[in-house]
């Protein structure tokens, strides 16, 4: 449906919102009209926080997670175990693992996975910097925590080959039946992995 | 779920997005991370267009539609019939009627409907300014195009009483079976209105 916008300023703002993923022109208009009803200060705070974030946010020079400082709070935290690195695809994954409260090592954010279909090769993601971190010497274990997809598996294998010459433990997060899932409805590949990766009953 | 944001700047931007209607923290994070991947200029353009819109957009002094100028393009358009006013609740409704291309008169945007439940009385919406426009003399018809709800009907009735002393035609948009709808599934109130408001067959 073509729209007759009563204002070019409105039309421009709607157009900008509609560029966001999952936001259509109708939703964009609804959001813009909502902002139009808010006071000027709140809207300027909204817009300002976005500009400021984009202009000032950095990437941690060690783990490539986003950060307000050159070294992110996780890498800078001396209470964490700096001999263990958990390799993840992106920032959301760091947040997901942090939310489990089961990990107190450091991270390495690849910024993607190897995906020939999308033209993403090993050189496009942070693998070399991972190898450099390991080659510096005081890493005991690297945990590969990528998605259980073809691309994730390819990336795991590539990293395995790059790190196999180092004297470190290399592990992959467990794949198995989800907590709360019924056996009957679990796919056979997952169930197979669950059985072969079984753990002693009293472990947890 | 509590989030551990790696950056205060990111957290602030996510918080601002999450204030928008229908946007949860998870969606907000997705939108913010999308913006983080865009180049600085596009993100500044996005933020700038929102601030600019909120700071500079005006309301038409005649019809109260939003506008970039004191008089909106519709009110300023000499080819339109300035003797007919279509009364609508909000800006979206102006756009909806404009999209039908069936109306070439002017509008009057109330900015709401009378809703005692929400504490909105006649004095909170642009009814007085409508009466003033009509009292200036060269209006022939006022079309009430409000939603077919209790609040819409109350507002229609209130406006009807305020304008009944003027020598103008006062009409309400037709309520009836939607184009494309099957008779069988139309509610009886709508169907009843459809029958009593029947029009000659050759009319259109």
Whether A111 and A126 have beta carbons less than 8 Å apart is answered as yes
Of B17, B49, B66, the CB nearest to A12: B49
Of B145, B50, B149, B97, residue with least CA distance to A31 = B50
Residues of B in contact with A15 (CB under 8 A): 49
Residues of A in contact with B6 (CB under 8 A): 60, 65-67, 72-74, 91, 94-95
pLDDT at residue A1, rounded to an integer = 44
Nearest CA in chain A to B51: A44
Query: pLDDT per residue over B35-87, tens digit each?
Result: 998 999 999 999 999 999 999 999 999 999 999 999 999 999 999 999 999 99
Q: Both tokens of residue B123?
A: 């004095």
Domains of chain A, earliest start first:
8-56 (1.10.8.420), 66-203 (3.40.1360.10)
Query: pLDDT per residue over A85-101, tens digit each?
Result: 999 999 988 988 888 88
3-state SS string for A143-195: EECCCCCHHHHHHHHHHHHHHCCCCCEEEECCCCCCCCCCHHHCCHHHHHHHH
To test the contact with chain A by mutation, choose from B53, B76, B125 the residue with the greatest count of A C-beta atoms within 10 A, namely B53
Burial of B73 (0-12, 13-18, 19+ CB in 10 A): middle
Query: pLDDT per residue over A93-123, tens digit each?
Result: 898 888 888 889 999 999 999 999 999 999 9
- Does the beta-carbon distance from A49 to B16 stay under 8 Å? yes
User: 99-118 in B: which are within 8 Å (CB) of A?
Assistant: 99
pLDDT band at B204 (very low <50, low <70, confident <90, very high): very low
User: Stretch A158-179: mean pLDDT, rounded?
Assistant: 89
Whether B108 and B86 have beta carbons less than 8 Å apart is answered as yes
Q: CA torsion A78→A81→A87→A90, rounded to 10°?
A: -30
Q: Cα(B15)–Cα(A50) distance, rounded to whole angstroms?
A: 10
On whether any CB of chain A is under 8 Å from the CB of B76, the answer is no
- Does the beta-carbon distance from A99 to B3 stay under 8 Å? yes
Residues of B in contact with A102 (CB under 8 A): none
Residues of B in contact with A1 (CB under 8 A): 99
ipTM over 0.85: no
- Unique residue bearing structure tokens 């009466």: B131
- Does the beta-carbon distance from B43 to A22 stay under 8 Å? no
On whether any CB of chain A is under 8 Å from the CB of B154, the answer is no
Residues of B in contact with A41 (CB under 8 A): none
On whether any CB of chain B is under 8 Å from the CB of A18, the answer is no
To test the contact with chain B by mutation, choose from A24, A33, A44, A53 the residue with the greatest count of B C-beta atoms within 10 A, namely A53
Residues of A in contact with B27 (CB under 8 A): 22
Q: Cα(B38)–Cα(B164) distance, rounded to whole angstroms?
A: 57
- Unique residue bearing structure tokens 């406006």: B159
On whether any CB of chain A is under 8 Å from the CB of B43, the answer is yes
Angle at A70 (CA atoms; ends B12, B6), nearest 5 degrees = 35
On whether any CB of chain B is under 8 Å from the CB of A137, the answer is no
Q: Residues 6 or more apart from B45 whose CB is under 8 A from it? A: A16
Query: pLDDT per residue over A27-51, tens digit each?
Result: 999 999 999 989 999 999 999 999 9
Query: Exposed e or buried b for every residue in A92-130, given b needs 16+ CB within 10 A?
Result: ebbbebbeeeebebbbbbbbebbbeeeebeeeebbbebb
């Amino acid at each position: 449906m073509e729209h007759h916008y009563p204002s070019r300023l409105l039309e421009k703002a709607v157009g900008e919102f509609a560029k966001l993923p999952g936001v259509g022109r109708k939703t964009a208009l609804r959001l813009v009209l909502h902002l139009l009803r808010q006071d000027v200060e709140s809207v300027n705070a909204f817009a300002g926080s976005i500009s400021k974030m984009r202009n000032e946010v950095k990437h941690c020079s060690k783990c490539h997670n986003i950060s307000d400082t050159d070294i992110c709070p996780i890498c800078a935290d001396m209470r964490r175990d700096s001999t263990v690195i958990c390799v993840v695809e992106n920032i959301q994954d760091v947040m997901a693992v942090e939310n489990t409260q089961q990990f107190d090592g450091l991270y390495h954010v690849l910024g993607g996975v190897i995906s020939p279909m999308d033209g993403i090769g090993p050189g496009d993601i942070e693998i070399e910097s991972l190898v450099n971190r390991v080659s510096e010497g005081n890493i005991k274990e690297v945990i590969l925590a990528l998605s259980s997809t073809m691309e994730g598996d390819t990336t795991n294998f590539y990293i395995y080959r790059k790190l196999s010459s180092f004297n470190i433990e290399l592990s992959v997060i467990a794949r198995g039946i989800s907590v709360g899932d019924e056996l009957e409805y679990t796919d056979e590949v997952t169930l197979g992995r669950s059985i072969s990766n079984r753990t002693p009953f009293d472990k947890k």
